[in-house]
């Protein structure tokens, strides 16, 4: 079982996400994003500043991290909580294969419920500037996949992954990221905003070296994924005793 | 033929010791891991399953460590105590998925064989969420058998089963033991262990309290009296001569209204008593009609071990 991706785990993961209440939220969040973008477009018209703020503050800071949190924690946390992950672990499947396969499902959710809605919302807000929509789509792809790796690691480190993930998104990325300039070096959303700025020629955030933003995102993605597999390999699963 | 070896294993959670310096070897056949709730059975099985690291000591299957070694699951099948499975799948989909994860050549055929083995063919296409507790237990069993493991570990497998399902599972475990698999199951219910396993490992308060077949465990307890009922053609004579022997602690004639005769006897030294009884009977011309141990049940062994 040396394949990096297990089609069985991808299939089980996809069914698992949509068999729980989280699946409904995955449809609701992008609907809110596109709905509010339509409203802004109708009320304000084609305006670069309001369009940028809408997609940055609502899309990159709130919707994309929440989609990543819902998708990733929905794939690992419930199975860890109820013990059903033991059926995956009691097989010779590599723990890294299990994690990467689950992340493939999470990435697909980010793409379908985060990146595509961002592209659509971008086109709704500024149909005259496709690079605006493409910039936000690529930025949300980078931040969404990076968040998935962070939340996957949280899921195997704590049974309160969703709560801690929410606190991280709202306090660190949302609140402190907007207040303290230095946070940009350690903020996934600021890295992705830098990518958007470069592609769409905007100025959402203070300058950050693009190379740094890309390398930092890549490191978090790779280290988070590897570390999650490592933790899963040494996973303690005991009964009620 | 596979063997699980537990070598001086302890496991503690902060300052609570769950398993304390346990050593045992589980060989082919059915072994019952017996002990009251909280005795450390689940912790021990978790370590045997590779899902928990021992604080000290080692747990191996055929010399291979279980901890951080996923390849060991080619040999080991596991039926966890917790009921949760992938409830959104049908029974067949669940077992096929397990077969695929084991990398079997023909997952569908292997799943069908395992499902047939636990007699769930009729219900295999129903969603697991509609299964009774006993049916869930059986489909978990099928999932653990799908790769034909040499070692099968079951944590409290009879929980939630009705009597018919219980008997069927007992038959299945005996069958697998007879096939040469190493089958270990835990239980706190004495009758279950007694009916399926002759080899018993007793855990009490995190310690390995006793090991061996049921009779051997019983005989090991030399400081505990063994009770018998004897029927002879001269109860009074045999009772008097037996009382004179050091191996017998007490004897009482079963007389009076409603009694059907015989001697109730307490032996303090089982080994000596089993040698003395036929010799004294022969020497005094007493014919032994019946010798019945009255407490030769796992219940008496267990209550003794727990209370000691």
- What is the pLDDT at residue A239? 43
Q: What is the pLDDT of residue A175?
A: 86
- Whether the pLDDT of residue B295 is over 80: the answer is no
Contact residues on chain B for A234, CB-CB shorter than 8 A = 53, 67-68
Closest CA to B201 of B24, B19, B14, B1: B24
Q: What is the pLDDT of residues B167-225, one digit of tens each?
A: 888 998 999 999 999 999 998 877 788 888 879 998 888 999 888 887 676 666 555 67
A91 close to B (CB below 8 A): yes
DSSP B71: G
Q: Note the pLDDT of residue B32.
A: 94
Res. B255 pLDDT band, cuts 50 70 90: confident
- Interface membership of A92 toward B (CB under 8 Å): yes
Our CA angle for B221, B224, B225, nearest 5°, is: 125
Answer yes or no: is pLDDT of B146 > 50. Answer: yes
Mean pLDDT score across all residues of chain B: 88
The model's pLDDT over B31-53, given as tens digits with 9 standing for 90+, comes to: 999 888 888 999 999 999 999 99
Which residues in chain A have Cβ-Cβ distances shorter than 8 Å to B52?
Answer: 236-238
A111 Cβ contact partners less than 8 Å away, ≥ 6 residues apart = A141, A144
What is the helix, strand, coil percentage profile of chain A, to 5? 80, 0, 20
| B100 Cβ under 8 Å from any chain A Cβ | yes
**Contacts with A238 from chain B: Cβ below 8 Å:** 42-43, 46, 51-52
> Which chain B positions have a beta carbon within 8 Å of A82's beta carbon?
82, 84
What pLDDT does residue B304 have? 61
In whole angstroms, what is the distance from residue A163 CA to residue A159 CA?
9
Question: How far is A85 from A16, CA to CA, in rounded Å?
Answer: 12
Q: Is the pLDDT of residue B14 over 80?
A: yes
| Chain B residue with Cα closest to A11 | B97
Cross-sheet strand order for the sheet of B199-204? B76-79, B151-154, B182-187, B29-34, B199-204, B207-213
E-only strand ranges, chain B: 4-13, 16-26, 29-34, 56-61, 64-65, 76-79, 151-154, 182-187, 199-204, 207-213, 226-232, 248-253, 263-267, 288-293
Question: What span, in angstroms and rounded, lies between the C-alpha atoms of B117 and B112?
Answer: 8
With an 8 Å Cβ cutoff, is A140 touching chain B?
Answer: no
Contacts of A11 in chain B (CB under 8 A): 97
> Which residue in A159, A40, A241, A175 sits closest to B19, CA to CA?
A241
Q: Which residues of B touch A8 (CB under 8 A)?
A: 97, 100-101
Q: What is the pLDDT of residue B300?
A: 61
Cβ–Cβ under 8 Å, residues A161 and A155 = yes
- Check CB contact under 8 Å for A16 and B49: no
What is residue A132's predicted lDDT score, i.e. its pLDDT?
Answer: 95
Beta bridge partners of B36: none
Q: Which residues on neighbouring strands pair with residue B65, listed in sequence order?
A: B60
Chain B nearest CA to A232, separation (Å): 9
Q: What is the rounded distance in angstroms from the CA atom of residue B297 to the CA atom of residue B29? A: 21
Give CA–CA dist A200/A214, Å, rounded: 16
Rounded percentage of chain B residues whose pLDDT exceeds 70: 91
pLDDT of amino acid A74: 84
Determine the distance in angstroms separating the CA of B121 from the nearest CA of chain A, rounded to an integer. Answer: 21
A185 contacts chain B (CB < 8 A) = no
- Residues (pLDDT < 50) of chain A are 1, 239-241
Predicted pLDDT at B60: 96
| Other beta carbons within 10 Å of B252 | 11
Nearest to B215 by CA among B157, B308, B293, B121: B293
Over its C-alpha atoms, chain A yields an Rg (Å, rounded) of 18
CA A101 to chain centre: 16
At B81, the pLDDT band (50, 70, 90 cuts) reads confident
């Amino acid at each position: 079982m040396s394949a990096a991706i297990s089609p069985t785990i991808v299939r089980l993961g996809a069914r698992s996400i949509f068999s729980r209440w989280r699946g409904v939220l995955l449809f609701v969040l992008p609907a809110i994003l596109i709905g509010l973008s339509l409203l802004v477009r109708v009320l304000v018209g084609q305006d670069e500043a309001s369009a940028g703020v809408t997609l940055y503050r609502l899309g990159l800071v709130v919707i994309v991290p929440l989609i990543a949190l819902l998708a990733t924690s929905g794939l690992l946390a419930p199975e860890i909580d109820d013990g059903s992950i033991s059926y995956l672990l009691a097989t010779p499947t590599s723990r890294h294969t299990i994690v990467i396969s689950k992340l493939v499902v999470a990435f697909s959710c980010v793409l379908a419920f985060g990146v595509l809605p961002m592209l659509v919302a971008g086109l709704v807000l500024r149909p005259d500037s496709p690079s605006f929509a493409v910039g936000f789509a690529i930025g949300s792809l980078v931040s969404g996949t990076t968040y998935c790796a962070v939340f996957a690691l949280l899921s195997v480190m704590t049974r309160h992954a969703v709560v801690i993930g929410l606190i991280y998104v709202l306090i660190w990325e949302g609140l402190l990221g907007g207040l303290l300039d230095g946070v940009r070096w350690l903020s996934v959303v600021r890295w992705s905003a830098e990518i958007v700025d470069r592609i769409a020629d905007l100025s959402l955030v203070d300058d950050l070296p693009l190379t740094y933003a890309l390398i930092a995102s890549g490191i978090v993605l790779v280290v988070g994924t590897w570390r999650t597999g490592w933790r899963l390999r040494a996973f303690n699963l005991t009964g009620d005793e | 033929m596979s063997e699980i070896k537990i070598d001086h294993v302890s496991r503690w959670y902060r300052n609570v010791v769950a398993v304390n310096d346990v050593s045992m070897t589980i060989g082919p056949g059915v072994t019952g891991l017996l002990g009251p709730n909280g005795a450390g059975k689940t912790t021990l099985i978790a370590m045997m399953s590779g899902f928990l690291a021992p604080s000290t000591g080692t747990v191996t299957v055929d010399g291979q460590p279980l901890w951080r070694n996923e390849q060991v699951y080619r040999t080991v099948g596991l039926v966890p105590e917790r009921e949760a499975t992938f409830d959104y799948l049908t029974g067949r989909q669940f077992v096929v998925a397990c077969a695929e994860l084991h990398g079997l050549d023909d997952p569908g055929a292997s799943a069908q064989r395992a499902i047939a083995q636990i007699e769930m063919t009729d219900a295999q296409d129903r969603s697991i969420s509609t299964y009774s507790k006993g049916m869930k237990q059986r489909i978990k069993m099928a999932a653990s058998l799908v790769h034909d493991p040499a070692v099968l570990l079951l944590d409290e497998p009879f929980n939630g089963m009705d009597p018919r399902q219980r008997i069927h599972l007992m038959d299945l475990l005996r069958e697998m033991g007879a096939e040469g698999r190493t089958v270990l199951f835990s239980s706190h219910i004495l009758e279950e262990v007694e009916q399926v396993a002759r080899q018993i490992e007793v855990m009490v308060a995190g310690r390995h309290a006793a090991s061996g077949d049921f009779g051997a465990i019983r005989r090991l307890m030399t400081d505990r009296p063994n009770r018998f009922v004897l029927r002879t053609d001269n109860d009074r004579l045999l009772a008097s001569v037996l009382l004179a022997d050091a191996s017998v602690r007490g004897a009482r004639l079963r007389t009076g209204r409603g009694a059907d005769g015989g001697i109730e006897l307490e032996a303090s030294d089982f080994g000596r008593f089993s040698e003395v009884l036929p010799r004294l009977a022969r020497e005094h011309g007493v014919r032994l009609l019946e010798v019945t141990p009255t407490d030769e049940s796992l219940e008496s062994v267990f209550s003794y071990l727990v209370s000691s």
